[in-house]
Every structure is written in C-alpha cells, then in structure tokens.
C-alpha cells in the first residue's frame, strides 16, 4: 500500500510542478509539459515492479503512436480559446483529438500497426 501511495504522490507532484511552472512562465510550463515525464515515470514504475522488458518496450512503442494524433490539439487550442472560451475549446479539442486518433489508427493499420 505504501508503494502505491508513493507512486501517486510522486506522479501528482509532477503535474503540480508543471502547472506551477506554467503560472510563472509560459515557456517553462510548456517545456515541462512537453517533456514525457509521465511516460518516464510509468516506465520507471513498470521496471521497479519487475514487469517484463517486452511490456515496458511496448508501453514506449504505443506511447509514441498515441502522441502523434494529439499534436494538432496544441495548435487548435490557442486559436479557438479567444473565440469560444475555455470549456467549449477544451471540449472541441477533445473531440478533434478523438477524430484525429481514429483517422490515424485507420491510416497506420495499413502498415501493420494496430492501435485500436
């Protein structure tokens, strides 16, 4: 149980670090947010929990493919925010990201990469 609490606290601290840095500096917050800290923590947690190397490698592999269709959101969000406000923009970007992911999954399936 203590291990699980430790994982939660460290992972939550990363999110708080990014949001606090973003309050002070847009650039620093963006840089920290762009770093794959959550993925690195997940890889560390998997290793410390003695998961097979193939499982850890698969996590990194699929993370790469799942990140790509999320990238358009980071360009669309700043464009829509002044027009729609925060919550409608967030909802719109979530829908666009889901659509991008679906289309991307169909596109890469032709190359033998199964994301769904």
104-116 pLDDT per residue, tens:
999 999 999 999 8
Q: Where are the domains of the chain?
A: 1-51, 64-116
Note the pLDDT tens digit of each residue in 6-64: 999 998 998 899 999 999 999 998 888 888 888 999 999 999 999 999 999 999 999 99
pLDDT value of position 38: 86
Note the pLDDT tens digit of each residue in 80-91: 999 999 999 999
Angle, alpha carbons 69-108-64 (nearest 5°): 50
- pLDDT category of residue 102 using cuts at 50, 70 and 90: very high
Residues with Cβ within 8 Å of 59's Cβ and at least 6 positions away in sequence, in order, are 39, 42, 43, 46
């Amino acid at each position: 149980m203590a291990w699980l609490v430790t994982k939660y606290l460290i992972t939550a601290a990363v999110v708080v670090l990014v949001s606090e840095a973003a309050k002070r500096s847009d650039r620093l917050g963006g840089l920290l947010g762009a770093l794959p800290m959550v993925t690195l923590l997940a890889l560390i947690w998997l290793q410390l929990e003695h998961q097979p190397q193939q499982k850890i490698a698969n996590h990194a592999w699929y993370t790469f493919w799942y990140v790509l269709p999320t990238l358009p959101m980071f360009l669309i969000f700043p464009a829509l925010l002044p027009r729609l406000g925060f919550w409608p923009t967030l909802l719109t970007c979530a829908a666009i990201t889901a659509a991008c992911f679906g289309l991307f999954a169909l596109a890469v399936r032709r190359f033998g990469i199964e994301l769904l």
